[in-house]
Amino acid sequence: MVDTARARKIADRIKEVIAANLTQVIKDPDLGFVTITDVRVTGDLQHASVFYTVFGDEAQHATTTELLASHLGRMRSLVGKQLGIRLTPTLEFLPDALPESATAIEDLLREAKEKDAQVAATRTGATYAGDADPYKKPDSEDADGADA
């Protein structure tokens, strides 16, 4: 039986432990500005996926990814000591795709706004293709009923 509330609590605790102790465990000056964004633990509490973002360029992302991978055992040991549960979950550091997704959505919204502005600009001097009032109106004679 899966206890999702317990898994959420453990995930929150893992997030706090890693975020608070990341710079103490990895004492490398090349470690970028890392933010732990989310932790997801499986229902059996055997595996934890740790999502992170790095502030910087692609080289900083690559260096930080390598450092996190090389210190994975030390991070798991720290988490195990801090959690105090029988089995320490295995850790997996995954780069969070949220910033890239947010940037893509912002680009799409900006593009849509520009297209709306273009449509509004072309509409300002536009005239009707046919008559201004496309509906047929009855003739004055038909309206009086004189043709009957």
Q: Does domain 4-96 have CATH number 3.30.300.20?
A: yes
Helix, strand, coil shares of the chain, percent, nearest 5, are: 55, 15, 30
Measure the CA–CA gap between 53 and 35, rounded to whole angstroms.
5
**Average pLDDT per block of 10 residues along the chain, 148 residues long:** 80 89 76 84 90 84 85 88 87 82 85 88 78 76 54
For residue 10, the tally of other CB atoms under 10 A from its CB is 19
Question: What is the pTM (predicted TM-score) of this model?
Answer: 0.65
Question: Would you state the pLDDT for residue 51?
Answer: 92
